[in-house]
Chains A and B, each alone.
Chain A
């Protein structure tokens, strides 16, 4: 499943993003590194508040101001460091090179403009198309997402469409300028289970056609299994394990990954109650000195409490941050 031969579209090195609140600094993303290749889907997995969405927003440099700030690291898109771009240059990257799909299709479209107008905006902005040419690009985007009778739909307002259809429109907006990277932030969480499966299949198809690199943010391992080539597991602002999808399921190495996979409900095993991880993630304002998972870790030793674990390569494209892995 790994696409080793293709080019790396995105490379992130040591990204650090914090929020400065009245109570203090919240280290939402604390030095993470990862990459995504052309035509590849990377799953960014972890529980709520672990920094997945902040990572996505950092890539677009769209953190809520003035609290959110990127403190360090590098984000290379096709070799260009996005953190070195001016605000104006960055605006030309958004929607054109990098797009994002938000979680809730019911609120992410503007209620007072037609679907056609909302898809046409990035097309006009980034490709300079006008009139009939812009209209054709809009229809092409609607077709790519399999929206039936696109010529009619583009005159609809969001409230005239179902949730699943709206999320396809959001997908069409994201794909309208043929981006290099698509960040999908739990795009199916708000959809019905059947619509969810359709949407995922649709995105696999879109990826085959366009070769777009996708970062799929989710907490659902079912979605990971279906969508992703590789997975990065995040815990309390850090990536703790990165591996190809089939390896993550068969040989998870980090105790947190193991626990996460154990807590996925399964149909082929009968259990009295679902497995759950004891305790709570640490406060991002007051992090423990050693490994962040240590207070909840069944395998923790003395060193785990004292020092942060370094990256260990344990297989092809498989790395873990854990003292107990050798």
Chain B
């Protein structure tokens, strides 16, 4: 098991290096950031000066060396626009995103688990129909539209909640709610179908033959077997949430990672884009490893194979 984890960590590290190179090339393929800073009256000297200042006058290989040596020292470079370290900007934005992402993640997962299991256990009942309806609505309605409609209803019409921004507990309700609305349907359907597969298994029949209660059969015998598929998806959702919910943050003007990323991309702010992308990559890779370890807890067969 531990050897397996070490191998997975090494693999993740190699992948991270690959992603670093790719990101470096791709952001530079997007265009020249100085074009967005200069004014029509800027002289060629001023432009050259600006490029020199930003280190963009050097060749790509030279820029890459600067980038890599910076990384080795834990520096991501300074933001081209804000002229302050990219790492510092992330440090400001990340907690806000986490404050939004964590509650949304846990509320959505808890609801998905409860409703998905309920729908599977009471298949073709009114509960199942309700769950299906929520799933269809959630997957068919675009998230941004739902967010705006919720804003219109609760903030503009009913004046119960603030329209946007950041501060009090009330500010969390709409963005977290919107995110739960995005996340819930897919996860809920996954839990439901995974549970339905397991409930057909012979060992569930045997559990009934033993005289176990339906509660034990569903929550003990079925759920643990049904968890593997949803676990992978939950890991990926978690990684993506922590690194920023772009649409939600923009709509609700939330000072988090998603908004920072969009602004940085629009301004061709290379160091910031690079830093955020690497953080996202590291999160996804890290979550993959955590999910793999979680598998081993859920399924003994995986635990024993890899020891």
Quick one: which of B201, B300, B304 has the most chain A CB within 10 A?
B300
Q: What separation, in Å, do the CA atoms of A108 and B207 have in the docked complex?
A: 9
> Is B304 touching A157 in the complex (CB atoms < 8 A)?
yes
> Is B212 touching A125 in the complex (CB atoms < 8 A)?
yes
Q: What separation, in Å, do the CA atoms of A310 and B43 have in the docked complex?
A: 111
* Given A110-B225, A111-B225, A112-B225, also A62-B209 (CB < 8 A): yes
For B299, the closest partner residue in chain A by CB is A112
For B200, the closest partner residue in chain A by CB is A64
Query: What A residues does B202 contact at CB under 8 A?
Result: 102, 104, 107-108
Interface residue? A95 (CB, 8 A): yes
> Is B206 touching A173 in the complex (CB atoms < 8 A)?
yes
> Is A109 touching B211 in the complex (CB atoms < 8 A)?
no
Interface residue? A168 (CB, 8 A): no
CB distance from B289 to the nearest CB of A (A): 21
Q: What separation, in Å, do the CA atoms of A7 and B301 have in the docked complex?
A: 46
Mark A81-112 against chain B: 1 for CB-CB distance below 8 A, else 0. Answer: 00000000001111110011010100111111
- How many A residues face the partner with a CB closer than 8 A? 29
> Is A102 touching B211 in the complex (CB atoms < 8 A)?
no
* Given A112-B299, A112-B300, A159-B301, also A107-B203 (CB < 8 A): yes
> Is A112 touching B224 in the complex (CB atoms < 8 A)?
yes
Query: What B residues does A159 contact at CB under 8 A?
Result: 300-301, 304
Interface residue? A160 (CB, 8 A): yes
Query: What A residues does B203 contact at CB under 8 A?
Result: 107-111
Query: What A residues does B224 contact at CB under 8 A?
Result: 112
Query: What B residues does A224 contact at CB under 8 A?
Result: none
Instruction: Report, as a range, how many residues of chain B touch the other chain.
Output: 20 to 34
Query: What B residues does A170 contact at CB under 8 A?
Result: 206
* Given A107-B201, A112-B224, A112-B300, also A122-B211 (CB < 8 A): yes
Q: What separation, in Å, do the CA atoms of A92 and B300 have in the docked complex?
A: 30
CB distance from B301 to the nearest CB of A (A): 5
Q: What separation, in Å, do the CA atoms of A91 and B210 have in the docked complex?
A: 8
> Is B206 touching A125 in the complex (CB atoms < 8 A)?
no
> Is A95 touching B304 in the complex (CB atoms < 8 A)?
no
Interface residue? B298 (CB, 8 A): yes
Q: What separation, in Å, do the CA atoms of A107 and B216 have in the docked complex?
A: 19
CB distance from B126 to the nearest CB of A (A): 14
CB distance from B213 to the nearest CB of A (A): 7
Query: What B residues does A113 contact at CB under 8 A?
Result: 221
Question: Which one of B206, B211, B304 lies within 8 Å of A92 (CB-CB)?
Answer: B211
Q: What separation, in Å, do the CA atoms of A80 and B287 have in the docked complex?
A: 57
Query: What A residues does B208 contact at CB under 8 A?
Result: 62, 94
Interface residue? A11 (CB, 8 A): no
Query: What B residues does A109 contact at CB under 8 A?
Result: 203, 206
CB distance from B115 to the nearest CB of A (A): 21
> Is A125 touching B299 in the complex (CB atoms < 8 A)?
no
Interface residue? A137 (CB, 8 A): no
Question: Which one of A91, A99, A107 lies within 8 Å of B213 (CB-CB)?
Answer: A91
Interface residue? B205 (CB, 8 A): yes
Mark A164-197 against chain B: 1 for CB-CB distance below 8 A, else 0. Answer: 0000001001000000000000000000000000
Q: What separation, in Å, do the CA atoms of A78 and B284 have in the docked complex?
A: 61
Interface residues of A in 253-303 (CB under 8 A from B): none
> Is B206 touching A93 in the complex (CB atoms < 8 A)?
no
> Is A60 touching B300 in the complex (CB atoms < 8 A)?
no
Interface residues of A in 118-132 (CB under 8 A from B): 121-122, 125-126
Q: What separation, in Å, do the CA atoms of A30 and B298 have in the docked complex?
A: 44
CB distance from B202 to the nearest CB of A (A): 4
Q: What separation, in Å, do the CA atoms of A79 and B301 have in the docked complex?
A: 45
Query: What A residues does B213 contact at CB under 8 A?
Result: 91
Q: List 16 A-B contacts (CB under 8 A).
A: A62-B208, A91-B213, A102-B205, A102-B206, A108-B203, A110-B206, A110-B207, A110-B225, A114-B300, A122-B210, A125-B211, A125-B212, A126-B211, A157-B304, A159-B301, A173-B206
